[in-house]
Amino acid sequence: MMRYVPHMLLALVLAAGLGLSGCATAPNDPTGQNQTQYNPQTGRVEGAQYTENELAAAISTHLGVSAESAASVIERMFRKQGSPVGYITGQEASGAVGVGLRYGKGTLWMKDGRSSEIYWQGPSIGFDFGADGAKAFVLVYNLNDPDDIYRRFPGVNGSAFLLAGMAVNYQRAEGITLAPIRTGVGARLGANVGYLSYSRKRKILPF
C-alpha cells in the first residue's frame, strides 16, 4: 500500500495546482469563426468543419508558437486525418514517478458554435520523469454530439511524432479521434502507454 502513496500525493499536487491556476481560455471561440449548420431532417447541428488557416492561427495564439510552425503541423494533420469538427484549448499538469499522471482543464469548441467545459485525467507508464505544466491544444474528429467526448480514450500505439517543436499523438474511442498537440515542457515523447479520461467535472484520482 505504501508504494502507491507517492503517486497519490503527486496526483493531489498536480490536480490542486491545475485548479489554482485556472483555465486560460477565451469566452468565445478563439478562431472567431462559428458557423451553425442546422439539419431539419435530423434535428441536429452538423457538418461544419475548421479550415487549416483557422486552426493554424488558433494554435499559434494558444500555444505561443510561430504561424509557420503551427501551419506545418496542421498541414500534416489534415493530410492524415482531414478536417476536425472541433478542438480543445486548455492547460494541463503532468509528471511521472514510474507511473505517470496527467490532469487537464479546458474548453471544447465545436465549429457549429457549441462549447463546453471539459476536464481530463489519466495514468501513463514509461520513461517520463519530473513534472510539468503546459498549455494543450486538442483536435477533435468525428464528434457529432459533444456529450460523446466524455469517456475514456486510449492512446494509439506508435502514433506520436515531433514536428516544429510540437509533440502530437492520437487517442481513439468509438470512432472518435483526438489529437493532443503540446509544446515546450509539455512536448514529451516518453515511452508511455495509457489513456486519458475526459469528464464534465474534475476528478482527483485518475484510475
Residue showing cell 516544429:
164
How far CA 22 is from CA of 119, 131, 155, 178, in Å, comes to: 12, 18, 26, 23
In the chain, which residue ranges form alpha helices assigned H by DSSP? 5-21, 52-63, 67-81
Number of domains in the chain: 1
In a domain, 120, yes or no: yes
In a domain, 116, yes or no: yes
Please state, rounded to an integer, the average pLDDT across all residues of the chain.
76
Answer with the residue of higher pLDDT: 207 or 70.
70
In a domain, 206, yes or no: no
Q: What pLDDT was estimated at residue 1?
A: 47
Express each pLDDT in 22-57 by its tens digit: 444 444 566 655 545 545 555 555 557 899 999 999
Q: What pLDDT was estimated at residue 164?
A: 80
Binning pLDDT at 50, 70 and 90, where does residue 169 land? confident
Prediction pTM value: 0.78
Express each pLDDT in 62-86 by its tens digit: 999 999 999 999 999 999 999 999 9
Residue showing cell 508511455:
192
In a domain, 37, yes or no: yes
Binning pLDDT at 50, 70 and 90, where does residue 186 land? low
DSSP-assigned letter for residue 150: S
Return the closest-CA partner of residue 30 out of 135, 102, 144, 109.
Answer: 109
In a domain, 85, yes or no: yes
- Look up the domain containing 69 and give its range: 2-199
Other beta carbons within 10 angstroms of residue 178's beta carbon come to 26
